[in-house]
Each structure stands twice: as structure tokens, then as C-alpha cells.
Amino acid sequence: MTINTLTNFKYTETAHSPGYNRLQRMGRRLWAPMFLMAVMAWPVGFALAIVRANELASASPDPTTVARLGQVVPAVMFIGFLSVFAAVSFAIARILGVFRKGGGDVQEASGRRVLTLKMTAAAKLFVALMAMAMMIIAVAVVLHFVVAGSVDTWSQATIEQWSITLEAVRRIGVAIYLVAIALGLGAIITVLRFQTIRVRQLPSETANG
Amino acid sequence: MTTRLTKEGRPAAGTDYLSETRHRKLGFTLALAGLILAVVAFVANVAAAGLIGDGDEAGASSVLAWSFGLTTTAFGTIKLAIGIVLIGILVRLWLRVEAVKVALAGLKPQAEARVVTGDTSTPYGRAVAGREVPKPLPIHTMARRLWKPMLAMGYMAVVAGLVTSLVWSADEASTAAAAWTQGLQFLGEGLLLAGISFLLGTILGSLREGGGEVQEALGLTVKTLKMPTTAKVFIGLMALGVMAAMLQFVLYLVVAGGVDNTAAWFAWLGPLREVSLGLILSGVVMALVTIGNVLGFQFDRIKEIVTTGN
């Protein structure tokens, strides 16, 4: 007799392991390039910040250079943050993929039905918020470069207004990214619960053929 | 269902594997609260940009001071939420260990148990085979002990920074209040991320111990992955990041004590504190990648036991 305790879950039933889905394959491929981009961006951003600090500390700081670097430094630093948060998200998607493939493989190897949890609402929201956060930060980064290119034509007040607004945009992007990560990790809890219940069912279920 | 963790980081005896634990919902609720705080700070920042347009520099600075404190508190709150969700994962991993132990005893084909020892190669890296559950590595013991104080101290520092941001807002020209706020809050953020890293380390320790327990209970060869390079990089990046977070705090205190050319100091201290968080976050990526590899190894091992009985 099979203990029917999976009624609260939406799942698919197949004869074979479903393997990774598209997003999980993407996660497997992209975490490493994103990670590399992040660790390359921060040293560049920090070096530019030192250049700006030196300019500010000099006897006659050039206001254009200071203002320009004031835009370029956060832009480069946030290329790093955009990349590292993407790497974290892709690494979470990769873990979800391991559960999906591994869970399917074990059920298939045992000769039982392969039940796979459908993408949960938290996982869908994780993907949507991650994409949204990535775009928000990317837009802020691009606009920082636009402002950096306009420092010699715009007034100081205008540049300051842009700086404050873009800082706000970057921060909200980070907050959304962090919420997406919490949701992605929450999806792992659901997968673990589903698989724990399913693995307990396996011995009492008749093997196929 | 409330699930308490024992000193060893396991769910208390009698925890029902069928029930939903509260960590997920609590984590999501806290993350939402953090997001709401971030939205409030976002609106305040946009309003401050408007004040600059109206020529009210002092008013804008005042708003920017408290909105900085609020934004960082929002980040801290969401990181705390992530920590709570990770505790939920830890609880669920141990419930899974018990489930796999019970299920494998019924699924494993009858075969003469052959225990082999020594080093072995797997698609997931080098592994060691033995008869018993491997002892926890020092980093696992350390992680198990430190995640809680790190999360607690981190959040306290962030909240203390929120209070100093109000002082800064009341006297927007105060360099000391600005330095204390930034230093304290980013030390807090660093400690919160360190707490998250230690929780990930605890999860890795539990995977190692739990995997060993399952194999030992069945009287099989206990195969355990050796510490992979990604795990070593994780520890290195986290240590570097935490040291940088402490360094930036000390340097902000130097600024609070009074230095020449505060603007120049702030110009490089801001990116330094971001680098510190970036390093810890990079470590988190490595930890997650390691968890993925260990899980892949364990699924392969379960499959091997189910098909060969050994």
C-alpha cells in the first residue's frame, strides 16, 4: 500500500527521470562566468575609487574627474554585485536541478514510478524577481555611465540628483535580489519535503515490470 | 510546526517529517518586511533628489542620512530571513537522512556486504571510503557554533547603525555620526553574511555526517567526498571578507575620531566596505556550488546502493 501523503503537492509522473529543466541547465552553465565577472569587477572599482580619493586629496582636485569617477566607481562596483547575485541565484537553480535529476534517477533506478515536483510558486517568483532585480541594477549601471559622460555639460545639482536617484534604484535592485534568493532557498525546503515523503513511499510501492 | 535544533544542529527528536516547518513562512514574511522597508527608503531617496532640485541641500542630506540607515536595515532584515530559510533547509536535510535510511533498507537488493576502504575517484571529485561515519572537520564544528552569534551580532550592529543614522540625520554635517553609521551597518552586514556562510558550512557538515550515517546504518562502505577546492575557496573568501568588514569598521572609527580631508577617506572607504561584502558573497557562491556537488555525489551513491546493494 502506498502512503498517499503527496496530495498537497503538484507533481508529474513519468517512467524516466526528467533530468534538468531549461532554467537549471542555464544555472549550471552560468554560475561560473557570473562569479568570475564579479571577482574581476570589484578590484577595478576599488582601484578607481583610490584614484578618485587621490584626486580629492590633491592640492587642486579636478572637479570633472572627481564627478566622472563618482559615477564610474558605483557603476563598476555594481556590475560586481549584479554578477555575484546572479551567480548565487544560478547556484541555487543548480541545486534545484540536482534535486530534480537526482530524485528522478533514484526513483527510476529503484524501478518505481518517477514523481517529480512541478515548479513551485516560490520558485517561479524567484526567477521573476531575479530577472527584475538584474534589469533594475543593469539600468542603473548604464545610466551611471551616461551621467559620467555628461558631467562636463550638466549642472552639479543635476548630477547630484541623478546620483541620489540611481543610488536608490541600485539599492532597491539589491533588496529585490535578496528577496529572490530567499524565495529560491525556500523552494529547496519544499523540494526536500516532497522528496522525503516520496522516498519513504518507495519501499511499499510495487516495482515496475 | 515549531522545530528546535539540538546542539548538534539536528531537529529535536519526534519532529514529524510530514509536517511543514515554520522556517519557510517565517523567512518569507521577514523578507517581505525587509522589502517594504527598502521601498520606504527608496521613496525617501527619490524625495531627497527632489529637494536637491529645490535647492534644499540640508533637507536632502538629512533625509539621505536616515534613508541610508533604513536601507541597510532592510538588507539586514532580508539577510536574516535568508538565515531562517537556511535553518529550515538544515532541518529538512536531517529529516531526509532518516527517510533515506528507512527507505534504502527496503530498496537495497540482497547482496553480500563488501566494505572497501581507501581513496576513490568519483565524477564529483576524490572521495574516501571507510567503515564509519567520518568525524566532522574543524570548519564544520566552527560553523555549527558560530552561525547563531554571527547572525545575532550582525543584526544588532545593523540596528545600532540605524539609531546612529537618526543622529546623523538630526545633524547632517556630523562626520562622526556618518562614519559610525556606515562602519557599524556594514560591519553588521558582513557579520550577517558570515552567519549565512556558517549556516551553509553547517549544511555541508550535515550532508557529510548524514550521508555517512545512512551508509553505516546499512552496513555498507561509507563513501565521503574529500573537501573540494570550491569549499576551500569558500572558506578563504569568507575569511578575507570578514576581515575586510572589520577593517572598514576600524577605519570608519578613525574617520569618526577626526581626519584631514574626510571626503577623500569616504571616497575609498565606501568601495572597501562593498568589496568586503562582495568577498563574502563570492564565498557564498562557492558554498552553494559545493552543496550542489555533494548532493549530486549523494544521489549517485544512493543510486549505486539501490542497483548493486553495495
Residue B90, domain member (yes or no):
yes
B169-174, Cβ contacts within 8 angstroms, sequence gap of 24 or more? B169/B62, B169/B63, B169/B65, B169/B66, B169/B69, B170/B62, B172/B58, B172/B61, B172/B62, B172/B64, B172/B65, B173/B61
Interface touch A53/B265, C-beta < 8 Å: yes
Residue-averaged pLDDT of chain B: 93
Residue B18, domain member (yes or no):
no
Interface touch B285/A164, C-beta < 8 Å: no
Nearest CA in chain B to A90: B285
How far apart CA A187 and CA A127 sit, in angstroms, is 11
Residue B12, domain member (yes or no):
no
| Pick among B57, B71, B268 to test the A interface (most A CBs inside 10 A) | B268
Residue B5, domain member (yes or no):
no
Q: pLDDT for B241-270, tens place per residue?
A: 999 999 999 999 999 998 889 999 999 999
Total count of domains within chain B = 1
Distance from CA of B135 to the nearest CA of A (A): 25
Interface touch A56/B93, C-beta < 8 Å: no
**Mean of the pLDDT values across residues B47-59?**
92
**Mean of the pLDDT values across residues A25-34?**
96
| Pick among B233, B288, B308, B310 to test the A interface (most A CBs inside 10 A) | B288
Lowest mean pLDDT across B96-100, B222-226, B306-310: B306-310
How far apart CA B241 and CA B235 sit, in angstroms, is 10
Q: State residue A24's pLDDT score.
A: 94
DSSP H or E stretch at residue B171: none
Interface of B with A in 60-79 (CB under 8 A): 60, 64, 71, 74-75, 78-79
**Mean of the pLDDT values across residues A24-35?**
96
* Other Cβ atoms closer than 10 A to B43: 13
Q: pLDDT for A79-99, tens place per residue?
A: 999 999 999 999 999 999 999
Distance from CA of B284 to the nearest CA of A (A): 7
Q: Using 50, 70 and 90 to split pLDDT, how confident is the model at A205?
A: confident
Cell of B131: 567503515
Q: pLDDT for B31-42, tens place per residue?
A: 999 999 999 999
Residue B279, domain member (yes or no):
yes
Asked whether the beta carbons of B100 and A197 are under 8 A apart, the reply is no
How far apart CA B125 and CA A89 sit, in angstroms, is 24
Q: Using 50, 70 and 90 to split pLDDT, how confident is the model at A8?
A: confident
B262 touches chain A (CB under 8 A): no
Which residues, other chains included, contact A195 with Cβ-Cβ below 8 Å and sequence gap of 6+? A99, A103, A117, B96
Nearest CA in chain B to A82: B278
Interface touch A73/B271, C-beta < 8 Å: yes
Distance from CA of B206 to the nearest CA of A (A): 14
**Beta-ladder partners of B125:** B122
A200 touches chain B (CB under 8 A): yes
Q: State residue A2's pLDDT score.
A: 46
- ipTM score for this prediction: 0.94
Residue B71, domain member (yes or no):
yes
Q: pLDDT for A110-129, tens place per residue?
A: 999 999 999 999 999 999 99
Work out whether the CA dihedral B81, A35, B189, B240 comes out positive or negative.
positive
Interface of A with B in 1-30 (CB under 8 A): 5
| Pick among A25, A171, A176, A201 to test the B interface (most B CBs inside 10 A) | A171
Q: State residue B9's pLDDT score.
A: 67
Phi, psi at A20, each rounded to 5°: -80, 150
DSSP H or E stretch at residue B232: helix B229-257
Residue B17, domain member (yes or no):
no
| Pick among A106, A120, A195 to test the B interface (most B CBs inside 10 A) | A106
B33 touches chain A (CB under 8 A): no
Q: State residue A1's pLDDT score.
A: 42
**Mean of the pLDDT values across residues A169-196?**
97
Pick B110 or A162 by higher pLDDT. A162
Query: Residue A208: pLDDT above 80?
Result: no
Q: pLDDT for A135-182, tens place per residue?
A: 999 999 999 999 999 999 999 999 999 999 999 999 999 999 999 999
Which residues, other chains included, contact A12 with Cβ-Cβ below 8 Å and sequence gap of 6+? A18, A115, A116, A118
Q: Which residue has the cell 530571513?
A: B81
Considering only the beta carbons, identify the residue of B85, B92, B292 that sits closest to A91.
B292
Name the DSSP letter for residue B3.
-
Nearest CA in chain A to B97: A196
Q: Which residue has the cell 534538468?
A: A20
A179 touches chain B (CB under 8 A): yes
Nearest CA to B41 out of A190, A129, A168 is that of: A168
Boundaries of domain holding B84 = 23-308
Q: pLDDT for B123-156, tens place per residue?
A: 999 999 998 999 999 999 999 999 999 999 999 9
Q: State residue B192's pLDDT score.
A: 98
Cell of A79: 556590475
Residue B67, domain member (yes or no):
yes
**Beta-ladder partners of B122:** B125
Nearest CA in chain B to A97: B292
Torsion-angle region of B228 (φ positive above 0: left; ψ -120 to 50: alpha; else: beta): beta
Nearest CA in chain B to A95: B292
Interface touch B75/A175, C-beta < 8 Å: yes
pTM over 0.80? The answer is: yes
**Mean of the pLDDT values across residues A75-80?**
97
Q: How far is CA B105 from CA A203, B199, B214, in A?
A: 8, 30, 10
Q: State residue B1's pLDDT score.
A: 54
Residue type for position B160: A
